[in-house]
């Protein structure tokens, strides 16, 4: 694994256009800056296509979906596809409501994504929908989902990144497991959204989708580990969150090389 690819973000300073949720939009902008990229958050339907065309990567996150925003997302994604700008999707809560399921379906029909990043429940929903099995896949057991995930990645010609206690990445042929992280990351809102924004930063720096996903999962996991290790007696979630930003702003290829825990597998398909 060439961890030094990470440093390309700060070198190329890509512009990352993000259509995301109102809960974590500030965190996503700050993590983008921490990585050395430049964020622009614009989700009015009237300007989404124009902004996407002018950017180096587009991030679409359905965390607090509105109809007009969904329209903007489709326009931004199509414009990005047309202009060769990579797009990453975060299908937040995909299985929670009909609105979200239909939104994901609509986006997958209109937009080609370089990476889709979700947790096992969200990715399981995507697999279930498309295989006709509904949304009740056994989500606790990532292993049983792997064949469906590989098939979905091949069908959509995308990289799928599943975060969890151990993260999993596949493009249908290659596979990787990333073992960095800490459960504390799940006690702070937006770490998933920020992870997807980081994937956008990597893509925008010209890193290929498979390595963009691995680098992002490792970087966020390592920053979480270091932030946790820095906590003193009496410090909690608030301080952890700030240290996480500190560590992300200091992340580089060397740190990734030292602390990254990745297992790369070649799959014969």
Annotated binding site: 41, 117, 163, 190
List residues forming the annotated binding site for substrate: 41, 190
Report CA torsion sign: 124, 112, 160, 44. Answer: negative
How does strand 15-19 pair with strand 262-266?
A: unpaired
Q: Which residue has the tokens 């010209």?
A: 206
- Gap between the Cα atoms of 30 and 182, Å rounded: 21
Contact 26, 54 (CB under 8 A): no
* Count, residues in the chain: 269
Binding site for ATP, by residue number, is 117, 163
Q: Closer CB to a second copy, residue 49 or residue 115?
A: 49
Q: CB of residue 237 vs a second copy: minimum separation in angstroms?
A: 4
DSSP-assigned beta bridge partners for residue 41: 18
Beta carbon of residue 193, minimum distance to a second copy (angstroms, whole number) = 11
* Residue 79 CB, nearest approach to a second copy (Å): 12
Binding residues vs a second copy (CB under 8 A): 21-27, 29-30, 33-34, 39-44, 46-47, 50-51, 54, 63-68, 93, 96-100, 187-190, 230, 234-239, 241-250
Residue closer to a second copy (CB basis): 1 or 53: 53
Closest residue by Cα to residue 244 from 229, 232, 256, 226: 226
Q: Which is nearer to a second copy, 258 or 268 (CB)?
A: 258
Q: Distance from CA of residue 12 to its chain's centroid? A: 20
- State in angstroms the smallest separation of the CB of 145 from a second copy: 22
State which residue, 41 or 146, has the beta carbon closest to a second copy: 41
């Amino acid at each position: 694994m060439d961890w030094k690819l990470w440093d390309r973000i700060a070198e190329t300073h890509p512009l990352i256009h993000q259509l995301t949720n109102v809960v974590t939009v500030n965190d996503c902008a700050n993590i983008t800056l921490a990585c050395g990229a430049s964020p622009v958050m614009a989700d009015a339907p009237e300007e989404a296509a124009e902004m996407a065309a002018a950017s180096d990567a587009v991030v679409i996150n359905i965390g607090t979906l509105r109809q007009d925003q969904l329209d903007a997302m489709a326009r931004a994604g199509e414009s990005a596809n047309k202009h060769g700008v990579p797009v990453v999707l975060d299908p937040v809560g995909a299985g929670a409501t009909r609105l979200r399921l239909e939104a994901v379906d609509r986006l997958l029909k209109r937009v080609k994504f370089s990476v889709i990043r979700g947790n096992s429940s969200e990715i399981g929903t995507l697999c279930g929908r498309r295989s006709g099995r509904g949304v009740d896949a056994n989500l606790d057991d990532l292993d049983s989902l792997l064949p469906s995930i590989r098939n979905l990645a091949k069908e959509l010609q995308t990289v799928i990144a599943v975060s969890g206690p151990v993260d999993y990445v596949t493009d249908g042929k290659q596979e990787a497991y990333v073992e960095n992280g800490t459960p504390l990351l799940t006690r702070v809102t937006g770490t998933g959204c920020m992870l997807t924004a980081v994937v956008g930063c990597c893509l925008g720096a010209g890193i290929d989708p498979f390595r963009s996903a691995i680098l992002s999962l490792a970087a966020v996991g390592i920053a979480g580990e270091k932030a946790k290790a820095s906590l003193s007696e009496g410090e909690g979630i608030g301080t952890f969150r700030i240290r996480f930003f500190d560590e992300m702003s200091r992340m580089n290829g060397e740190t990734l090389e030292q602390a990254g825990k990745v297992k790369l597998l070649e799959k014969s398909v």
